[in-house]
Structures are given as C-alpha cells and as structure tokens.
C-alpha cells in the first residue's frame, strides 16, 4: 500500500468523516490522495457539508501525515483499509464497516471463523467458569475468540483461548497506545503475539464511554456468532448482541440464576429469542461444524524435568486431586504445585476446580467445516 496509508490515517483523524463520507469521497475522486488535496469547492461537489469540510481543512492544515505514519510504524502497528486483502472478511460484510483498522499483531484468513464471547465486567464464579469453558472449546477447535479486553468475561475468554493454544482478537474502544484497562497490558501483548489487538480509533484516543458502542459493533462484525455469557440489565454486552442481530449474526445467551443481577440481561435475551447455550458444543453446531468422533491431544510440549514427566504420566481426562498426584510421584507438595503451574502455562495441564487437574486437550471433540 506504500505511502497511501497516510491519507487513510489523515481522514481517520477528521471529526465527522466516517465510512459513509469516505465512500462519497471514493465515488467522487476514486482515490483518497486526490480527495486529501481537494479544494473546498471540490469537496462540496463530492457531497460534504460546510462543517465537515471545515473540520477537514483544519485537520489537513495541522496534521503532519508523514509523522503520523512514522509514529504508527515505530510502535510496530499495521494499518488495514478497505483496499487491503487482509481486511477482515466478516467485518467487510456489515453495513458501513470502519474504513481502516489499526492492528497490533496479525489478522489472518482463518479468523473468518470467529465467535464473539462477551459479558459483564463483574462476572460471578459461574460466569467465569462458563466463559473459560466456551473459549477453550472454541480455541481447541480452531475458532478465533473475539472480545473486548475488558475486565471480567472478556479477559477470561481471551486468556482461555490463549491457554488452549488458539487465536483471539481484542477490539479496543481507544487507540492502541491507550490500552484499557491498564492492568491488561500484559494480556494484550500475549493476544498480539497469538492473534491481534485492533481498533479503528487513532493513536492517542482515550477510552471514553462514547467509544465503546462502536467498538462493540466491530466485535459482532468480526464474528459469525456472538455469545453473551453474563450481563446485567444495562451491560454493554447487550449492545453487542443488538449489533449482532442487526448484522444477521446468531446470538447465544447463557441461562442464569433469576435472582442474580448478572443474569438478568442474558435471561432477557433468551426470552426475546436468543438461543439458550446449554452446552459449549451448541456454538460449534451453530457454525455448521461436523463433529469428528475422536480423541485428540493438543500438540505436545515436552516436560522439562522428571517432576513434569511424572505429573503428565499420571494425568488423564479424569480429574485427579493434587494429593493423589503427590502420592503417585512421591514428591513434596511444593514441588508438585510449582510443576503444575508450569504445565498450565505450557498448556499441558488444566485445573478444573477443587485442586483437581486433567491433561489439557484430553477427550476434547475435534470439528471440521462441512
């Protein structure tokens, strides 16, 4: 794309110029470089109003496009526009998709098979467990998990996908250099290494409340299906569900305790016609994936020492308590605990509650597209 990125970046900086007006400029000029250098009269002929034209002229006068581009390159971010083949296929399908995206990491063709997993920031233990199970199952089966990097359900879904060795995409309501929440910087780095962190907001954009509904629209736009795990009555996850319906995506909601505020939104979605998610495989079936009845282990990552080897030999698909592991390996509990932590980081072991562990990937279903 070369230096033409500058003009996309420039127009993205102009308040009041979004996908509809970008399309008008394309129709009028056939090229954003010509549009960027157009006169007031030419812009008016292209269909822009006086306020928009003035906002553009003010931005053009003060903005150094080469400096903007150099700043993005210095961070190591990519710019994807409507003109790029790598622009996400699913997002391109929606009405008025964002003209450009800032990308930290890599968007791949395989990300067209993606599911949004969203929910409340104040997740219950039930919601956290369900989000982890859904995201793990999706990742094991080659489905990209899309969410918003927020506290609660979003971050749990991202981390579960990473732990399962899968791909995940985080969509921000801020510039890529203004990560929010700040405590998720390390998580964002891991996502960028194993997927992508994306935003349509220019660098320097702070995470203001008005930015999040458009961000939710991108989450649903990237996804074939959206799953709402937990949501209170006013949760932003419900906005994502609304956009998903508008975009023709299937919406699943996890049923919850009618006495819990975190389940009010999801239960209401079900009442209004969302699919109740009763099993993590429900989403895979909605994606028209055919179950292959076989057991399959995740790609092995060898043990680093004899303690890890002993633990891996003892673990299976059946939950095993840490005390039983200690007895089988005849080692101090502190050594067993340390090695289990390392195996969890490697994606070879998984805690399933109550200090019980299984071999990660054991007895999981594998799916393929029909």
**Is the pLDDT confidence value at 293 over 80?**
no
Q: Give the pLDDT score at 367.
A: 41
Q: Give the pLDDT score at 352.
A: 67
CATH architecture of 2-67: Orthogonal Bundle (1.10)
Q: Give the pLDDT score at 148.
A: 97
Q: If DSSP states are collapsed to H, E and C, what string results for 353-365?
A: ECCEEEECCCCCC
Beta strand segments in the chain, E = 78-81, 100-105, 114-118, 144-147, 168-171, 195-199, 225-228, 250-253, 275-276, 289-292, 320-321, 349-353, 356-359, 366-369
Range(s) within the chain of domains with CATH label 3.40.50.450: 109-287
Range(s) within the chain of domains with CATH label 1.10.150.20: 2-67
- CB contact at 8 A, 225 and 249: yes
CA distance readout (Å), 19 to 12, 100, 132, 199, 200: 10, 9, 35, 15, 11
Per the listing, tokens 């006169």 go with: 39
Chain centre distance of CA 265: 21
Write the DSSP string, 144-176: EEEE---TTHHHHHHHHHHHTT--EEEE-SS-T
What share of the chain has pLDDT > 70, as a percent?
91
End-to-end CA distance of the chain: 35
**Is the pLDDT confidence value at 299 over 70?**
no
Closest Cα to residue 247, out of 22, 140, 92, 73? 92
**Is the pLDDT confidence value at 267 over 80?**
yes
Q: Give the pLDDT score at 347.
A: 74
**Is the pLDDT confidence value at 370 over 90?**
no
What is the band of 365 on the pLDDT scale with cuts at 50, 70, 90?
Answer: very low
- CB contact at 8 A, 16 and 52: yes
What is the band of 350 on the pLDDT scale with cuts at 50, 70, 90?
Answer: confident
**Rounded Cα distance, 232 and 255, in Å:** 12
Mean predicted lDDT score pLDDT of the chain: 88
Average pLDDT over every residue of 7-23: 94
CATH topology of domain 109-287: Rossmann fold (3.40.50)
**Is the pLDDT confidence value at 254 over 90?**
yes
- DSSP 8-state symbol, 225: E
- CB contact at 8 A, 168 and 161: yes
Backbone angles phi, psi at 135, to 5 degrees: -65, -40
Q: Which is it for strands 250-253 and 225-228: parallel, antiparallel or unpaired?
A: parallel
Q: Give the pLDDT score at 62.
A: 95
Q: What is the pLDDT of residues 58-110, one digit of tens each?
A: 999 999 999 999 999 999 999 999 999 999 999 999 999 999 999 999 999 99
**Rounded Cα distance, 239 and 261, in Å:** 17
Q: What is the pLDDT of residues 179-196, one digit of tens each?
A: 999 999 999 999 999 999
Q: Give the pLDDT score at 203.
A: 96
**Is the pLDDT confidence value at 1 over 70?**
no
Of the two residues 134 and 235, the one the predictor is more confident about is 134
Q: What is the pLDDT of residues 123-163, one digit of tens each?
A: 999 999 999 999 999 999 999 999 999 999 999 999 999 99
What is the band of 368 on the pLDDT scale with cuts at 50, 70, 90?
Answer: very low
Average pLDDT over every residue of 291-304: 44
Q: Which is it for strands 195-199 and 100-105: parallel, antiparallel or unpaired?
A: antiparallel
- CB contact at 8 A, 346 and 301: yes
In the numeric block, which tokens belong to residue 310?
């002993």
Question: Among 258-272, 324-338, 349-363, which is the least confidently predicted range?
Answer: 349-363
**Is the pLDDT confidence value at 359 over 80?**
yes
Considering the four listed CATH numbers 3.40.190.10, 3.90.1150.10, 1.10.10.10, 1.10.3720.10, the one that applies to the domain covering 291-370 is 1.10.10.10
Range(s) within the chain of domains with CATH label 1.10.10.10: 291-370
């Amino acid at each position: 794309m070369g230096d033409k990125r500058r003009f996309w970046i420039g127009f993205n900086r102009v308040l009041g110029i979004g996908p509809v007006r970008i399309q008008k400029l394309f129709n009028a000029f056939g090229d954003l470089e010509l549009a960027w250098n157009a006169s007031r009269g030419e812009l008016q002929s292209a269909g822009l109003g006086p306020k928009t034209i003035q906002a553009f002229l003010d931005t053009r006068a003060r903005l150094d496009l080469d400096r903007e581009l150099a700043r993005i390159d210095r961070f190591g971010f990519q710019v994807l526009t409507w003109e790029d083949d790598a622009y996400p296929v699913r997002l391109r399908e929606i009405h008025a998709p964002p003209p450009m995206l800032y990308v930290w990491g890599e968007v791949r063709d395989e990300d067209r098979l993606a599911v949004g997993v969203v929910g409340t920031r104040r997740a219950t233990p039930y919601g956290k467990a369900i989000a982890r199970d859904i995201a793990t199952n999706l990742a094991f089966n080659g489905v990209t998990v899309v969410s918003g990097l927020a506290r609660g359900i979003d971050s749990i879904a991202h981390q579960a996908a990473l732990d399962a060795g899968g791909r995940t995409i985080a969509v921000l309501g801020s510039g890529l250099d203004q990560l929010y929440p700040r405590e998720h910087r390390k998580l964002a780095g891991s996502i960028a290494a194993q997927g992508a962190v994306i935003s349509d907001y220019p660098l320097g954009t702070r995470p203001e409340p008005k930015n999040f509904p458009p961000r939710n629209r991108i989450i649903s736009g990237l996804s074939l299906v959206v799953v709402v795990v937990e949501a209170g009555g006013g949760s932003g996850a419900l906005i994502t569900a609304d956009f998903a319906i508008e975009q023709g995506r299937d919406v699943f909601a996890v049923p919850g305790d009618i006495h819990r505020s975190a389940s009010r939104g999801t239960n209401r979605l079900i009442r209004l016609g969302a699919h109740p998610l009763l099993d993590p495989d429900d989403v895979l079936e909605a994606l028209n994936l055919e179950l292959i009845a076989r057991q399959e282990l995740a790609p092995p990552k060898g043990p680093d020492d004899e303690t890890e080897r002993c633990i891996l030999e003892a673990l299976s698909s059946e939950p095993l308590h840490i005390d039983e592991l200690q007895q089988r390996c005849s080692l101090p509990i502190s050594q067993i605990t340390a090695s289990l932590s390392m195996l969890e980081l490697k994606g070879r072991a998984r805690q399933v509650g109550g200090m019980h562990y299984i071999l990660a990937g054991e007895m999981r279903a594998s799916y393929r597209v029909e």
